[in-house]
Amino acid sequence: MAAPRGEFSSRFGFLMAASGSAVGLGNIWGFPTNTASNGGAAFLIVYLVLTFALAYPALMAELIIGRHARSNAVTALKTIATSNGSKLLAVTVGVVGIITVSFILSFYAIVSGWMIAFFFDPLARLVGMDGLSQWLTTDTAVRNSIFVVVFMVMTVVIISAGVKDGIEKWATRLMPSLILILILLTLYVFTLPGAMDGLRAYLIPDFSRITDPQLLIDAMGQAFFSLSLGVGTMLVYGSYISKDENLPVVGSLVALLDVGIAVLAGLLIVPAMYVALANGVEIFDESGALIAGPGLIVSVLPALFNNMGSIGILVASAFFILMTIASLTSSISMLEVPVAYSVENHGVRRPVAALLIGGTITIISLIIVFNFDPLFDLVVNFTTERSQPLLSLFICIFAAWIWKRNDILQEIKSGCPEAENGIFWKIWPFYIKFICPVAILVVYFQ
């Protein structure tokens, strides 16, 4: 029944795939705007603390469970369950994770589709097709539908090709390009008038905000979304890691890459907004806060690029290709969750599973596109604010309260023989048992 399982061919391959999953719209769009609207570096500091104190332990729980069971989330959680009750919980958490990540992908694909449309806009203007440019940048259901389909086709094609020839191959190509484009764009924006004001807004902490509950909630949501936690994404990627790999080390590298790229993206986006301000573009909303929603990416920044003259065409295409790459390496990690389950537990062939599930998610996206106002925010909030934190909580409970401590240690020791005496084993079990569940619950009930 079970098809032979894929495995990442190297540490680099895994790092690119997992950081590709982690780095997405959440880093380049969500993080900078959250920072700018939550007291600058005060948010950054809280976010860093929460990432390493809460999100990294939860990430490790997923990687360890995944590599131990070498299977998708449903089977993996069932493997470590000890009683009928915990087996039922395992299936529930696994299946709700699959449903949640499918809905996350359904809204993610819409936003990613905008990025592709905006990538083509400067090219259309370059060749003088102003009508096309107008169509590409006007928010219509038809345009959105077309680009949702384009984006989902790319996602399905990569996932059909499997772990090595799909996920790993594309992540190792795309992630280095992403980092390079991000650095070049940031350096360029730094040379423009107004950038230093943005840098100040980004980096000077407003410590009076640090006790603001909203800041805490936003920072924790951001940390869990950004590390793709709760829904089985990292668990499945963990199941493709070699048994010789040192898990605590690769896990911390993924967290560092994720945070590093978020911080770097902040150095690009916030200064770019102030450059736009210096160019006469409105960057504050009626309440005086920085524009953070879709308006930032689809109106403020394009207005800035349009003001830049001919170099603006290059900068705009570089920026939107960056966004598209970030989206794609994340969306493949989402689609992999249901696909791995169907392949392993129901014997469906991978390309068929990718096509059927990808097709279904595309239909959900299209339903949202045509009913945007009632549905979009609802789906975003329900999946990311309700479902994801609770699922993370249950995965922590599985790792800490249900799984046998000695089995966990054996799994970590594979690839890290000295684990028992290392710092990770001194701290992590305690964190995952007490601190993570309590912290998640506290923030959840805020």
Of 25 and 178, the one with the shorter C-beta distance to ligand TRP is 25
Strand, helix or coil at 10?
coil
Of 114 and 424, the one with the shorter C-beta distance to ligand TRP is 114
Strand, helix or coil at 139?
coil
DSSP string, 233-284: HHHHHHHTS-TTS-HHHHHHHHHHHHHHHHHHHHHHHHHHHHHHHHTT---B
Of 59 and 419, the one with the shorter C-beta distance to ligand TRP is 59
Of 133 and 392, the one with the shorter C-beta distance to ligand TRP is 392
Positive or negative CA dihedral for 164, 165, 168, 172? Answer: positive
Of 267 and 337, the one with the shorter C-beta distance to ligand TRP is 337
Alpha-carbon distance of 366 to 404, in angstroms, equals 44
CB of 185 to ligand TRP, least distance (A): 18
- Residues 6+ away with beta carbon under 8 Å from 260: none
CB of 58 to ligand TRP, least distance (A): 12
CB of 406 to ligand TRP, least distance (A): 30
CB of 236 to ligand TRP, least distance (A): 10
For residue 9, count CB atoms less than 10 angstroms from its CB and return exposed for 0-12, middle for 13-18, buried for 19 or more.
middle
Positive or negative CA dihedral for 384, 21, 51, 72? Answer: positive
Of 89 and 104, the one with the shorter C-beta distance to ligand TRP is 104
CB of 330 to ligand TRP, least distance (A): 4
CB of 398 to ligand TRP, least distance (A): 17
Of 194 and 338, the one with the shorter C-beta distance to ligand TRP is 338
State the virtual CA torsion across 38, 44, 50, 55 in degrees, nearest 10: 100
Backbone φ, ψ for residue 290 (5° rounding): -60, 140
**Residue in 187, 124, 199, 151 with CA at minimum distance from that of residue 369:** 151
Contact between residue 79 and residue 267 where contact means Cβ atoms under 8 Å apart: no
CB of 1 to ligand TRP, least distance (A): 27
Chain residues binding ligand TRP by CB under 6 A are 21-22, 24-27, 101, 104, 225-226, 228, 231, 233, 330, 333-334
